[in-house]
Amino acid sequence: MTRLRTSALRWPRTGGGALALLYVAIALTPLALATGRPVAPLEPWERFGAGLGLAPLTAMAMQFVTSGRFRSVSGGLGIDKIMAFHKIAAWWVLGALLLHPFAYVLPTVLDDPDLGRRRLVAYLTLPQYRTGVVALVALALLVAGSRLRESLPLRYEAWRAFHVALAVTAAGAGLHHALTAGRFSALGPVEGWWWGVSGALVAVMGTLYGWRWIRLHLRPWRLHAVTKLADRTWELDIRPAPGGRDLRYEAGQFLWMTEGARRFPLFDHPFSIADSPMRPGLRLIVKEAGDFTDRIGALPPGAPIGVDGPHGEFSLENHAGDSVLLVAGGAGLGPIMGLLRDLAARKDPRPVRLAYAVAHPLDFACLEEIEAAMTVLSLRVLPVCETEVEGYAGAVGRLDRPLLDRLLEGLEPRDAVAMICGPGPMVVAVSDALHEIGLPMERIVYERFDYASGAASRQDRRRLRRFLLVGAGLAAGVALFAALPH
Ligand SMILES: Cc1cc2nc3c(=O)[nH]c(=O)nc-3n(C[C@H](O)[C@H](O)[C@H](O)COP(=O)(O)OP(=O)(O)OC[C@H]3O[C@@H](n4cnc5c(N)ncnc54)[C@H](O)[C@@H]3O)c2cc1C
């Protein structure tokens, strides 16, 4: 078989540490531009208050590029880390901006509580500060709406439309407030910074909802076939429309998909590519999970499909190992089949182990194809089913440490790479078990299908500590800005 698309157009992979430094440097830039300027407020507390506006407003603007839609950002870190960062950064932006007006009045409150209270009320009610208050309210609703998303009576698309509208309102009103009410922001360089940030946000929104929309129509795809693979699980075979071209991607990556007349980025859904780049077209394995996916099996062949991708870094090109452990849970089979199909297409000589866990035997998909892959790969497979059903002879229960130990027998865990995709709790349990078995954290790679918070693995907790360090770096920058003589 000839290799059709050897690899995706690779974005330069910037490491997490470099991205974190870049993030802190950009967020602190307006403070650097304001440092040393003899501008009131001159009291350290007031400068602290100003710093709590300047840096977090820039960090708020950066939330637009950590939304998972920019390949240059999520291609290096992966969607899981990017979304985790997006969520945690939202909290420190909100916390700092809520403290921003309080820091200005704190010395007055300590001297004269009544005067301090009146000053605070003035900040919150005077017309010249109104857009600042609008920004704060929009931001608070934005963060609360994300935290409570699962319990809100809203369809995902409606929630997302509100999310975008509130984000634009918060950033737009915040920038207006900085430009009209900020004393440091009246300085040429800082004012120029805010105009630059405003221009960048317009460009980002234009790219996300304008340019991506145009591209979805310029490069249409068509649904070639839909096949039922298992209970409520479908395989979509999509091909470029006549005159279109195939996608260059790495097995395991995902794309944002839209369908029919709704080919607008606001309606896109992420799906992993369950295919090998050595084959033309793209196959996706989709499990019914809500209003969009419930309709997927009824899509007529020929339906126009919008494809935006590839995205993510869940690929073996990005994660080396002498042997490969693939772990799929339920719908997580999509990217795992992509990796397996590619390993088989390339006749990869490495030992490959596959654990595939489902809730019920009827949920198993692609078992025949997996068995056929054993003829070309050094592959050992462990199907696991949570429910004991008559006629099912495989392992019953959850994928736990003893089962993983058995599956990894004969391999050196330190040199293996594990690619895991499945429901959050399974990902956490398997990731921690593999770390105990001896796989280094860097070689335990996972992607979740759901951004909602849930149980955290050791790797998640280490990641959280690193993110908190980034927040601490911002706090230290603001404190330094307040302490430096002006
Ligand atoms: C990187 C990634 C890869 C994925 N790959 C696959 C795959 O290969 N096969 C598969 O079956 N599923 C996959 N999913 C999950 C799939 O995107 C959701 O099941 C689908 O979007 C649900 O949409 P719905 O309208 O049917 O259900 P809804 O009821 O609208 O949503 C169910 C849940 O899916 C999530 N979701 C819905 N819409 C979106 C969206 N636009 N963006 C992000 N999350 C959303 C939300 O957590 C929501 O609570 C993947 C998810 C991610 C993040």
Q: Does the bond joining 349 to the residue before it have cis omega, within 30 degrees of 0?
A: no
Averaged pLDDT of the chain: 92
pLDDT at 30: 97
For the cut 50, the answer to whether the pLDDT of residue 459 exceeds it is yes
Of 215-219, 239-243, 276-280, minimum mean pLDDT range = 215-219
Residue 463 has pLDDT above 70, yes or no: yes
pLDDT the model gives residue 72: 75
Q: Using DSSP, state whether 389 is helix, strand or coil.
A: coil
Tell me, in angstroms, the distance from the centre of ligand 1 to residue 169's CA.
26
Average pLDDT over residues 386-393: 88
**Is the per-residue pLDDT at 12 higher than 90?**
no
Q: CA dist 115 to 107, 108, 118, Å?
A: 10, 7, 5
Q: Is 485 helix (H, G, I), strand (E, B) or coil?
A: coil
Q: Which residues contact 34 (CB under 8 A, 6 or more apart)?
A: 50, 54, 184, 187, 189, 190, 481
**Count of C-beta atoms within a 10 Å radius of residue 440:** 14
Measured CA distances, 226 to 45, 67, 367, 382 (Å): 63, 30, 18, 27
Give dist(CA 107, CA 120) in Å, integer. Answer: 12
Residue to substitute in 149, 269, 307 for testing ligand 1 pocket (most ligand atoms within 8 angstroms of CB): 269
CB-based pocket (< 6 A), ligand 1: 79, 155-156, 254, 268-272, 284-287, 289-293, 331, 334, 447, 449-450, 452
Among protein residues, the one whose CA lies closest to atom 25 of ligand 1: 292
pLDDT value at 14 more than 80 = no
pLDDT-derived band at 264, boundaries 50, 70, 90: confident
- The per-residue pLDDT for 262 is 80
CA of 130 to the centre of ligand 1 (A): 38
User: Does residue 204 register a pLDDT over 90?
Assistant: yes
Length of the chain: 486
Q: Tokens 């300027």 correspond to what residue?
A: 37
Q: 486 pLDDT exceeds 80?
A: no
Highest mean pLDDT, choosing among 1-10, 313-322, 448-457: 313-322
Q: What's residue 256's pLDDT? A: 94
Angle at which helices 188-205 and 156-181 cross, to 10°? 160
Q: Which of 281, 375, 276 is nearest to 316 (CA)?
A: 276
Vertex 399: Cα angle to 331 and 344 (nearest 5): 60
For residue 451, give the ligand 1 atom closest to its CA.
Answer: 47
Rounded Cα–Cα distance for residues 428 and 459 (Å)? 9
Q: Is the pLDDT of residue 4 over 60?
A: no
pLDDT for the residue 93 = 98
Nearest C-alpha to atom 35 of ligand 1 is from which residue?
A: 450
Res 2: pLDDT: 40
Provide the sign of the torsion angle of the four alpha carbons 11, 17, 22, 27, taken in this order: positive
Q: How far is the CA of 68 from the centre of ligand 1 (A)?
A: 14
Q: Output the CA 249–ligand 1 centroid distance in Å.
A: 20
For residues 228-238, average pLDDT: 97
Confidence of residue 3 (pLDDT cuts 50, 70, 90): very low
Q: What is the mean pLDDT of residues 331-340?
A: 97
Of all residues in the chain, the percent with pLDDT exceeding 90 is 79
Q: What is the pLDDT of residues 237-261, one digit of tens each?
A: 999 999 889 999 999 999 999 998 8
Q: What is the pLDDT of residue 8?
A: 52
Ligand 1 centroid distance, CA of 81 (Å): 17
- The more confident residue out of 405 and 6 is 405
Q: Whose CA is nearest to atom 30 of ligand 1?
A: 156
Residue 51 tokens read as 């710093």
The two structure tokens encoding residue 134 = 């609008």
Q: Which of 9-18, 22-31, 99-108, 170-179 has the lowest mean pLDDT?
A: 9-18
Q: How far apart are CA 448 and CA 309, in angstroms?
A: 18
Q: How far is CA 291 from the centre of its chain?
A: 22
Question: Does residue 308 have a pLDDT over 70?
Answer: yes
pLDDT digits (tens, 9 = 90+) for 428-444: 999 999 999 999 999 99
3-state secondary structure of 170: helix
Q: Which of 188, 444, 448, 478 is nearest to 319 (CA)?
A: 444
Nearest CA to ligand 1 atom 7: 271
| Range in 121-130, 259-268, 364-373 with the lowest mean pLDDT | 259-268
CA of 101 to the centre of ligand 1 (A): 39
Token digits of residue 322: 């002498």
Instruction: Read off the pLDDT of residues 191-203 as tens digits, 9 standing for 90 and up.
Output: 999 999 999 999 9
pLDDT tens for residues 27-86? 999 999 999 777 765 688 889 999 999 999 999 999 999 887 787 776 667 888 899 999
Residue nearest to atom 21 of ligand 1 (CA): 269
Residue 226 has pLDDT above 70, yes or no: yes
CA distance 88 to 93: 9
Other Cβ atoms closer than 10 A to 222: 17
Q: How confident is the model at residue 116 (pLDDT cuts 50, 70, 90)?
A: very high
Maximum CA extent, the chain? 81
Task: Round to whole Å and give the CA distance between 284 and 289.
Answer: 15
Mean pLDDT, range 352-379, rounded to an integer: 97
Q: Coil, strand, or helix at residue 157?
A: helix
Crossing angle of helices 458-483 and 424-437, in 10° steps, is: 100
What pLDDT does 370 receive? 98
Q: Ligand 1: which of 77, 162, 267, 271 to mutate, judged by most atoms within 8 Å of the beta carbon? A: 271
Instruction: State the Cα–Cα distance between residues 248 and 348, nearest whole angstrom.
Output: 20
What is the distance in A from the centroid of ligand 1 to the CA of 185?
Answer: 41
Are the C-beta atoms of residues 59 and 174 closer than 8 Å to each other? no
What is the average pLDDT across 219-233?
95
Q: Which of 448, 388, 385 is nearest to 420 (CA)?
A: 448
State both tokens at 448: 């979740």
Q: Backbone phi, then psi, for 15, in 5-degree steps?
A: -70, 160
Distance 286 CA to ligand 1 centre (A): 9
**Contact at 8 Å (CB) between 90 and 29?**
no
Tens-digit pLDDT profile for residues 131-178: 999 999 999 999 999 999 989 999 999 999 999 999 999 999 999 999
Mean pLDDT across the stretch 457-478? 96
Of the listed ranges 218-222, 280-284, 379-383, 436-440, the one predicted with least confidence: 218-222
Starting at the edge strand found earlier in the chain, the sheet holding 444-447 runs: 395-396, 378-385, 351-358, 323-329, 416-421, 444-447
